[in-house]
Structure 1
Amino acid sequence: MKDWLTDLFNSVEGLVLFVCLALGFALGKIKFWKISLGGVAGTLIVAIFVGMMGVTLNSQVKNIAFALFIFTLGYMSGPSFFASLNKHSLKYGIFTIVEVVTILVVVGLATAILNLDQGTAAGLLAGGATESAVVGTATDAIAKLDLPADQIKTLQGNVGTAYSISYIMGLITIVLFTSQFAPAIMRVNLREEAAKLWEKLGGGSDAEGGATSALPDLVGRAHEVTFATGKTVGQVEAALGESIAIERVRRAGANLDVTSGTRLAAGDVVLLHGRREQLIDGYSVIGPERAGIEGMNVDLDVQEVVLTAPGYGGKTLGDIRASIPQEERHGVFLSGISRMDHNLPVQNGTQINQGDTLRFTGAKRDLASFVPRVGFVIDPSVKMDVIFIAIGVILGMLIGKIEIPLGSIPLSLGTGGGCLLSGLLFGWLRARNPKHGQYHPAAAQVVKDLGLATFICAVGLSSGPQAVDLIKQYGFSLPIAGILVTLIPASISLFVGWKLMKLPAPLTLGAVAGQQCSTPAATAVQQAAGNTTPLMSYTIVYALSNVVLPLLGPIVVALTGAIS
């Protein structure tokens, strides 16, 4: 059976990749208690076992996949990364600093105590930090060592095996620590603390991602004019509140051209659109509600806009609303905010950064006049600007070829570090000049997931032959080291955020999850908190750590090489 499978994989080029992807992502969906490994870790585990059969993946496929993944990672992180370099957000940089310094110290100590080789140490750091990109930057650095080819191959294989072991332990540790153990250590009820913070931000509803509220914030109502006879549209809107708009007025079976000065007459039917809580007074201000009025329906448009306008980044949503006159945002409603693919609370206290994606709802004419002053609209019909992206990857690969001697080690960023930096640059350029470089978030997510999973599959296949030997050599010491690499930085950051910075519990735990770039941990904290307040700090720290941690690959190879 084994020989037959080996022959099949070797005779059908690329078959092993998709077998590992299918089985790996299926394994990654299985939940152990409340934790699932995810498709990338699942693919690595499957690939290691398949690799024991002596099957490998073309090295060019591996390099291309990693280049696409790491460039996309930098591209999508670029606007948020640079936006986080402001006075308010930079204080969260302490969490990334704690992560980087502590994790290097812990890995260095583990190298000295356990006599780890450079590949195993790099895999331990990548898995303990739950940052898959380090696997690529570290294997790039190992390939440049002045060692025999077979030794380099062994070290690169050890990266994948050590990563798979420490990643599993690190993932379980960070999820349990942030969502269960840390709130107990802090002696707080996380759900109550999150509710207090939510109220402080401005309150309101918080439907989970993908859910539709039974009582949506934005609604439409039709009222017959009785009490508002003789009043203008502007006067009625002012009486109801700034978060409503009269979209249509129907008189004697015909629709009028509506302006703020349009005067209402008895028997007119007006169509209101706005926040539910402010439309409740529609009867007392205008007159009785009516339903099923022919010709009164208005199609509202929804546009996703990337914030690029100067002067808004770093401010709270409430400050931005106050700075824009009501007449300039008439009929336009902010219905969603996302950063790094995570939804943030649509509350007055939420800080908005350059590069955030804002979702606006309103009539097309209102959106057309308002949106250009905020940013550029994401065109859903354009998925990716291949020319712009390909040039960015080319530049990244060339940057990765630059070498700086560090003692006897030729230190370079490699393909991973080079493409990460070029991705940051091109993402920033895209935010500055939105006419070029369209990369729809959905398309970017597919490229990231497929690129990383393909690369990890190749690493796992090459790790398979020596996986058993590495596990026998270190035994339980490697999983324990993986736990410590995750737990020690997280514990220090918990103390710093909670005791020294005096951050609210949801923000502290969100930042701890962010320094690990752990989406499962962020999800667990959000579920424990009962709302999305932890994501406010998570997205800032995630943007910083997501850029800094991959650069540790060459550093840990050089560091552990000097120690050993």
Structure 2
Amino acid sequence: MTWLHHTFQQYPELAIFLTLSAGFFIGSLKVGKFSLGSVTGVLLVGVIVGQLDISISANVKSVFFLMFLFAVGYSVGPQFFAGLKKDGLPQVLFAVLMCVVCLVAPWLLAVASGYNVGQAAGLLSGSQTISATMGVASDTIKQLSVSEAQKQAWINAMPVCYAVTYIFGTAGSAWILSSIAPLMLGGIEKVRAETKELEKKLGSGDPTLDPGMRSAFIPVTFRAYEVTDQSIALNKQVQQLEEELGRRNHRLFIERIRKNDKTIIDPVPDYVIQKGDEIVLSGRREYVLGEESGLGPEIVDLELLNFPVENVMVYVIKKNIIGKTINELRNMDFMHGVPVQSLRRAGISLPVYGETVLQRGDNIELVGYKKDMDKAAAQIGYAEIPTDKTDMIYVGLGIVLGGIVGAMSFKAGGVPLSLSTSGGALIAGLIFGWLRSRHPAFGNIPEPALWVMNNVGLNTFIAVVGITAGPSFVEGFKQVGWGLFLVGIGATAIPLLAGILMGRYIFKFHPALTLGCTAGARTTTAALSAIQESVQSKLPALGYTITYAVGNTLLIIWGVVLVLLMT
């Protein structure tokens, strides 16, 4: 053990990777539906490893923290700026007001409890489950005109308070928004009924289908049917049949036909379907299932169904597409034979409702023949080219420019203040992410790379924080005691309950959107999943994306503001 102790002290990078490995493992363990999550797991392991008195350069955590903040801004940038437009302003204003409550509640509770600056920052970070606040607050504390010993004592107090308050911040948020909040909106059955009604208006298809069942199937399917005397396709032209199905809002396409003479042809609009023909139908699965009883017996034939199709993710950037609904897009001529399989916004999967309005930077997944896909992608925006390469020129330049701007300081009351390099990196990420949504030919960061920047970046920062604060963690916990846990409950619950009340009585959002907006402004993805399960719909995700972009930005910046309020 002495040799291992000496090795970790001599090679602190090994201690960091040990902390990451063990922390991710502990964070993945579940008790029922609850888990600590990787950040809390890494922090707790870091505190334990830190008892070995390991010295790590502060530059290590700074590098990974800047990478994380740029990735956060890059991910939410398109939605952050999209929300500033007229249609998104109510959700932006809601998020801003709720984020103000997320700042004020922990601040007042910290003052009432007699906490110092570091303890207050830890309370804010843990109760609102925004780990990056600790990093921004630490950078701000370093600029204060106090002794180095005092600065370090405050910085070391943060992870203690974060760890104590984070557990309810995560689990409590999910419980409040999925169980308590629906009662404040009229009861869970009322919320579910109103959600189903809105789904009908948005064109979700059969409202009796369990939304959770869709995820068990591939949304777009290709199936073959034999035309019989009773078939609705008999003696109809291909175009006529597709139009008839379309009038029922079931956008389906005839992709291939095997004629009586066993020749396989690509359908033309005026081809008349005969008895004995075998047709391949494509479209969203729920639409195909709704029509198959009238088409004829289904057949499984490798030769007929074995043809190449491709899935393409397309960025929405064309002006004539932005602001259109999914239904309007589907009815455009270039979308013939091209179903919409999925929709993602700011990295969040949204339900493909017919009346969902497309925004710049949305990713829509199309399925079909390559020639059809190329034509549709060119009309919609930019087809994402699958690649595993990150544009590091773009990433590096963004972090440097943001850091330089953030490092510039100004004096307020004789105190030098700045956004700090971390705040600058976040803002640069917002701008560069927005630029990428407008010009997607450059600046690509593949999702796996973005995951590494987000998760490894943040957790490496947290690992260093835990290891560095380890020696003083126990003493710090003795100072705050278990009373901090109760204070943390209040700091978590007050903003969430305020958000529900604002959404219902001030902004008059639909109940499902109120729940989604509240979860988004608090950037709690775990709560969004719990809400969707509670209301039995994915509809709350429509209120999550814009508020998440605003919340993720403001809650991090609040680390600066809270330090100023406390000093």
State TM-score, norm by structure 1.
0.91
2:544 counterpart SS class? helix
The aligned amino acid for 2:433 is: G
TM superposition shift of 1:334: 0.7
Q: Residue 196 of structure 2 aligns with which residue? A: 195
Query: Counterpart amino acid of 2:256?
Result: R
Once the two structures are TM-superposed, the CA of residue 279 in structure 1 deviates from its matched residue by 7.0
Distance 2:4 2:298 in 1: 70
Equivalenced residue count is 555
- What residue in structure 2 maps to residue 249 of structure 1? 257
Q: Which amino acid aligns with 2:146?
A: L
- CA displacement 1:405-454 (0-9 Å, x = unmatched): 12232211112111111111111111111111111123201221000000
Contact kept in structure 1, 2:128 and 2:522, CA below 8 Å: yes
Contact 1:80–1:356 (Cα < 8 Å) also in 2? no
Distance in 2 between residues matched to 1:469 and 1:15, nearest whole Å: 26
Shift of 1:134: 1.0
Question: Which amino acid in the other structure matches residue 500 of structure 1?
Answer: I
Instruction: Calculate percent identity across the aligned residue pairs.
Output: 34
Worse-superposed segment, 69-78 or 26-35: 26-35
Structure 1 residue matching 2:366: 3-state secondary structure? strand
The aligned residue for residue 132 of structure 1 is: 131
Preserved CA contact (<8 Å) 1:224 1:290: no
Alpha-carbon distance in structure 2 between the residues aligned to 1:61 and 1:210: 44
- The SS at the match of 1:350 is coil
Deviations 1:475-495 (A, max 9, x none): 233222222221111111111
Would the alpha carbon gap of residues 187 and 294 (structure 1) be closer, same or farther in structure 2, given more than 3 Å must change?
Answer: closer
Q: TM-score, normalised by structure 2?
A: 0.90
2:107 equivalent in structure 1: 108
Where 1:130 maps in the other structure, the secondary structure is coil
- In structure 1, C-alpha distance between the alignment counterparts of 2:276 and 2:32, rounded to whole Å: 61
Residue 367 of structure 1 corresponds to which residue in structure 2? 373
In the TM superposition, what are the counterparts of 1:132-211 in structure 2 within 5 Å?
A: 132-189=131-188, 190-204=191-205, 208=212, 211=215
- Structure 1's 442 and 505: CA in aligned 2 closer, same or farther, altered over 3 A? same
Q: Distance in 2 between matches of 1:414 and 1:500?
A: 35
* Aligned twin of 2:268: 259
Shift of 1:268: 4.5
Seen in structure 2, the aligned counterparts of structure 1 residues 162 and 249 have a Cα distance that, compared at 3 Å, is same
Aligned to 2:319: 310
Tell me the residue number matched to 1:233. 238
Query: Residue deviations 1:333-380, cap 9 Å, x none?
Result: 011112232211111232332222111111111111111221222222
Q: Which residue of 1 aligns with 2:525?
A: 519
Secondary structure at the aligned position of 1:260 is classed as coil
Secondary structure of 1:541's counterpart equals: helix
Is the 8 Å Cα contact of residues 88 and 314 (structure 1) preserved in structure 2? no
Unaligned runs of 5+ in 2: none
Once the two structures are TM-superposed, the CA of residue 468 in structure 1 deviates from its matched residue by: 2.1
Contact 2:316 2:380 in 1 (8 A): yes
1:308 deviation in Å?
Answer: 1.6
| Kept after mapping to 1: 8 A contact 2:70/2:426 | yes
Bigger mean CA offset, 9-18 vs 188-197: 188-197
The question of whether the paired residues in 2 share the 8 Å contact of 1:514 and 1:537 is answered with yes
Distance 2:506 2:51 in 1: 49
Distance 1:248 1:342, change over 3 A: same
1:31 maps to amino acid: K
| Conservation of the 8 A alpha-carbon contact between 2:227 and 2:274 | no
Deviations 1:453-481 (A, max 9, x none): 00011111122222222222222332222
The whole-number CA distance in structure 1 between the counterparts of 2:241 and 2:192 is 40
Paired position in structure 2 for 1:96: 95
Q: Which residue of 1 aligns with 2:467?
A: 461
The CA deviation at 1:110 is: 3.0
Contact 2:212 2:536 in 1 (8 A): no
Contact 1:318 1:348 in 2 (8 A): yes
Match of 2:222 among 208, 215, 219: 219
Name the CA shift for 1:269/1:30 in 2 (closer, same or farther; >3 Å). closer
Mark the runs of 5 or more structure 1 residues left unpaired by the alignment: none
Residues 1:32 and 1:424: Cα distance change in structure 2 (over 3 Å) = same
Equivalent residue number for residue 27 of structure 1: 26
- 1:331-346 equivalences under 5 Å are 331-346=337-352
Written as runs of structure 1 = structure 2, the 5 A alignment for 1:319-334 is: 319-321=328-330, 324-325=331-332, 327-334=333-340
Indicate the residue corresponding to 1:270 in structure 2. 279
1:548 alignment counterpart: 554
The aligned amino acid for 1:420 is L
Alignment match, 1:399:
405
Counterparts of 1:319 and 1:329, CA distance in 2: 10
AA in 1 matched with 2:196? A
- Distance in 1, Cα, partners of 2:294 & 2:52: 77
Distance 2:210 2:77 in 1: 28
> CA distance change for structure 1 residues 282 and 28 in 2, over 3 Å: closer, same or farther?
closer
Seen in structure 2, the aligned counterparts of structure 1 residues 535 and 230 have a Cα distance that, compared at 3 Å, is closer
* Aligned-pair Cα RMSD in Å: 2.6
**Closer, same or farther: CA 288–122 of 1 in aligned 2, 3 Å:** closer
Partner of 1:302: helix, strand, or coil? strand
Q: How big is the shift at 1:104?
A: 2.9
Which digits, 9 at most, give the CA deviation of each residue in 1:170-194, with x for residues without a partner? 2232122111222234441254443
Instruction: Determine the C-alpha separation between the residues in 2 that align with 1:81 and 1:559.
Output: 26
1:5-24 alignment, distance < 5 Å: 5-24=4-23
Secondary structure, counterpart of 2:311 in structure 1: strand
